[in-house]
Amino acid sequence: MRPEIKRAQHTIPVGASSPLRACRNVDSDPLVVAEAHGQYLHDIDGTRYVDFMYGFGPLILGHAPEPVAAAIARQAANGTLFGTYCTQEIELAERITATAGHLEQLRFVCSGTEAVMSTLRLARAYTGRTRILRFNGGYHGHFDLVQNKDESRMRDAGLDPAAMRSNLFAEYNDTASVERAFAENPGGIAAVVVEPIACNMSLVLPEEGFLADLRRICDREGAVLIFDEVITGFRLTFGPASNLLGVSPDLTAFGKIIGGGTPVGAFGGRRDIMRLLDEERVLQGGTLAGNPLTMAAGAATLDVLSSDGFYQELERKGALLQSAIEEHRAAKGLDFTFVRTGSIFAFIFVPQSAAVRRKEDVARQAQQPYTTLYRGLREAGYHLAPDIEEPMYLSSETTDETIRDFAARAVDILATDPTTPVAATA
C-alpha cells in the first residue's frame, strides 16, 4: 500500500471522502491522482490513464476544459462567495429553466443529495402526506429517506427508524408493483421518486410506457412525480432527459454536469409547488448554494453544450463504442450484456438473452468479471468506475482511437476470466 494511502486512512475514514474511491469493490489500491487534462488522469508517479469515469459523470467536457477553467479563474479573481444575490446565479437558473416546460422555477444547492432531499420535503409539504415511493436498486443520496443501496445492511446503521418507515418500495419497470403500493397506502403517498434512466444499478433503461404509467398514477392519486436527473440531466441532451423520454415530472433534481466539475445541485419544477419556498412554508437554504464560482463554471459548461452538434457527436462516439464492443465480443465468443444510452455505458455480466429490467436482474451477475476488467484495464492505462454497479462515461475529449483500443482490450481481458458468460455452442 502506498504511504499516501496509509496517511489518508489515518485521518479520513477509508482514506477518502467518498467510499468508492477506496477501490475495495474491485480489490485494488486506490488511485492517487495529481492532475488531469482532456481524457487523461495522471497519478502522483506520473503514470497516465485514459479516464472513463470522469468524476462519476460530471466531466462531460473532459478534465480541465479551457473555457471552464478560464471562467473559474476570472470569477475567483472577483470573489468566490458573496452571500447575496448575484447575476451569475440568476442567469444560470434562467438557462436551465428554459430547457423544459415543467421547470418553472429552480433553486440551487450544493449536491445532488441536497437536491433530492429538497424535492421530497416539498412534495410532503405540498401533499400533506409523508410516505415516499421509490425503487429497489435506486440511489438518491445518503440521507435517511432514500438510503436503500443495501437495505439489509444499512437499515439499522444510524438511520432514523421513523424516516425509514416512510419508505415504500416498488420494482423499476414494473407498473403493477407501483399500483400495489398505492392500493396498500390509500391517500398516503406524497411522491414517487425515480431515476428516469436507472444509472445506479449499472445501467437499466426504462421500458416503453413505464414512465408514462408513473405519470398517470401520480396524476390519479394526487402524488408528486420526481425525476432524479443528477446523472442524466444535460448528459444526453441540452436539458433534462425527460425531454427525450416524453414524460414531464412535477419536480426534477439536477447535479453533476450543471456545475462544470464544481460542487452543485439544483431542483426545480412546477411553480405551484416551488412557491412553498417563496412563502417560506418549507425551509431550505445553504451558505454556499448558488455561489458565483460554481455558477460561472456551470454557465461556461452550458455554453459548450449548447453548441451545434455537441450531443450528436457524443452519440456518434457512443455508437462507435457499442459497435466495437459487439464486434470483439462476437469474435471472442462471449455473451455478456453491454448497455448504452448516449455517452453512458455499462457492462452487465449476464447473457444477452437475459432480460435486464430491474435491480434483481443486475444482482444476478458475478462480481469477478468486472474486477478482472477493472484491474486489467488499469494495468493497461485505463481508468474505470471502481464498482460493478456504477456506469461509465464518454466525454467530448474521448477520441475514436481511444474508443477502439478500449473495446478491443476490454473484451480481450474479459476473455481471460472463466466467470465471464460465454456464448452457447451449436
Residue 308: active-site member: no
- Among 172, 256, 361, 382, the active-site one is 256
Question: Which grid coordinates are listed for 33?
Answer: 491522482
Calpha distance 367→388 (Å, rounded): 7
| Helix, strand, coil abundance in the chain, percent, nearest 5 | 40, 15, 40
- State the sign of the Cα–Cα–Cα–Cα dihedral 149, 352, 39, 57: negative
CA distances, 5 to each of 12, 28, 43, 301, 359 (Å) = 10, 12, 13, 33, 33
Calpha distance 371→373 (Å, rounded): 5
Calpha distance 130→142 (Å, rounded): 19
- Check: CB of residue 154 under 8 Å from CB of residue 148: yes
- Among 49, 54, 126, 139, the active-site one is 139
Name all contacts of 273-279 with Cβ < 8 Å and 24+ positions apart: 273/122, 273/123, 273/126, 273/224, 274/104, 274/105, 274/106, 274/107, 274/122, 275/105, 276/122, 276/125, 276/126, 277/107, 277/122
Q: How many C-beta atoms surround the C-beta of residue 153 within 10 A?
A: 8
Residue 228: active-site member: yes
- Among 51, 172, 228, 361, the active-site one is 228
Question: Catalytic amino acids?
Answer: 139, 228, 256
